[in-house]
Amino acid sequence: MIDSQQNDDEKPSTDRMKNSSYLFLPTSLFWRVNRELLINLAGGRALLLELAHPLVATGVAQHSGFQQHPFRRLWRTMQVMTQLTFGNEEERSHALRAFHGCHKNVQGRLPKGEGRYEGGSHYHAEHPELKLWVLATLIDSALLAHEVFISPLSPSDKQSYYEDCKPMASLLGIPSSLRPASYEAFQQYLDEMLESEILHVGENARQIVAALLQPRWFRPVVQAAHFFGTGLLPERVRAMYNLRWDKNEEERLRRLATRLQWLRAHLPSCVCVSPKASFAEWRGNWATIFALQK
């Protein structure tokens, strides 16, 4: 369970921010999982899963300028999720305006057929089913990264995390009628998507990934992200991308995961936690002190 490797000083009191403008409490599973920097090691996995959906990949290819700025969309996604999770009401409103502002004009048609979609199929980034798929890749990747690189999560932990995700889904414009009702139903949705003909890695997805792997700067970081992203992918999706992965690489990933679990258990929290989360927790502490002095 998530509590097994957390010190008391890592778990801010619920009361400190109960009356704040934050969407999540620091004691919620959503906050406590997403504050961990190591979950970013699964960012490449989430991106590859997103792009395996032809409508998502085409929208990114036609509207993001990925060849000139390959990391811009990934950076925006990370910023929005960080602000929604750890930001106050003002920061959250700003992030949502940016999110919906960027997506409202991202629409068009597939130039040719891909997978089950015929050429000319319409896409729109504000379509709830596409947003559900993107959010699902982030949820699943964060939970997997926590289990692999930090500590195991119990079934009740995963259910709590998923329940915490529902307000986030509402903010992003995913209606409750479309969302899986429970974590078990969410897993069923994921399994069905991963086995369906909906996912298809086409030319757009391959071009985006190729652009990401040819950076002018930070090549070691990109190579590491690609390694972790490839290793954490479901085997079927990895095969769709024709990504090489053998027993030696699998063993290397396991060794690295074991070392990272040890480091997370022994390093101080301040070097393992998102600065935005740490600042919000610190600000919550001071808000309580000021309230008591009034």
Task: Please indicate, yes or no, if residue 83 is contained in any of the structural domains.
Answer: yes
pTM: 0.87
If one compares 203 and 67, the residue with the highest pLDDT of the two is 203
Instruction: Give domain status of residue 290, yes or no.
Output: no
Question: What spatial distance separates the first Cα and last Cα of the chain, rounded to whole Å?
Answer: 39
Give the whole-angstrom CA distance, residue 281 versus residue 125: 33
The per-residue pLDDT for range 122-147, each reduced to its tens digit, is 999 999 999 999 999 999 999 999 99
Q: Is 291 inside any structural domain?
A: no
Is the pLDDT at 103 greater than 90, yes or no? Answer: no
Per-residue model confidence (pLDDT) at position 22: 81
Mean of per-residue pLDDT scores for the chain: 87
Query: For the chain, what is the domain count?
Result: 1
pLDDT exceeds cutoff 60 at 42: yes
- Return the bridge partners of 117, or none: 114
Give strand pairing partners of 107: 124
Beta-ladder partners of 122: 109
pLDDT band, residue 260 (cuts 50/70/90): very high
In the predicted structure, residue 234 carries a pLDDT above the cut 80 = yes
Closest CA to 93 of 200, 2, 21, 3: 21
In this structure, are residues 65 and 72 in contact, taking their beta carbons and an 8 Å threshold? yes
Residue 152 lies in a domain: yes
Identify whether the C-beta of residue 217 lies closer than 8 Å to the C-beta of residue 211.
no
Domain around 89:
2-284
* Within-domain flag for 33: yes
**What are the start-end ranges of the E strands in the chain?**
107-109, 122-124
